[in-house]
Amino acid sequence: MKIYLSFVFIFFLLLSNYVYSNEIKNYNCNINLSTSIKNLSPLEMSAPKKIKIIYNFKTNNLIDYIWNNKSVVDDFEIVSKTTNIPIIEIGRKGYEKTLLDKDIRNGIYFRLDFKNLKANLKKQFIRPVNYNCL
């Protein structure tokens, strides 16, 4: 009887971990460098080569946001999450998409499409840098 209860307990423990892990997703994004000088973005030189996102779908919570193996989650927040289109946009805290000089200079946004796993890093009025995610 004890063995049976132990198996049942372990089964429910594993099941709860499995269900919880389905809500949290890791996305590893690598920069897609331009091959043409015409398509080169000024951001490409300073953009991180690797971006990792750890995101909880159930709570719409950004767990971690990593640029080149350094966590920058304290400086960024989820700007928009659409329910009918599987896209998330992460922006720098304190800056919005306005025409104020401080917002144009300091606002930077990372947009990830969960459907095709394509992403881009952009600033206002500057060509975005493209990423491929896994």
Q: Edge-to-edge, what's the strand order for the sheet holding 24-32? A: 70-71, 61-67, 50-56, 24-32, 129-133, 118-122, 109-113, 87-92, 76-81
Contact 68, 48 (CB under 8 A): yes
Provide the pLDDT for residue 17.
46
Whole-model pTM? 0.78
Average pLDDT value over all residues in the chain: 85
Q: Considering only 1-5, 14-18, 42-46, 72-76, which range has the smallest mean pLDDT?
A: 14-18
Residue 20 neighbours by CB under 8 Å, 6+ apart: none
Q: Considering only 9-23, 43-57, 69-83, which range has the smallest mean pLDDT?
A: 9-23
Q: Domain locations in the chain?
A: 25-133
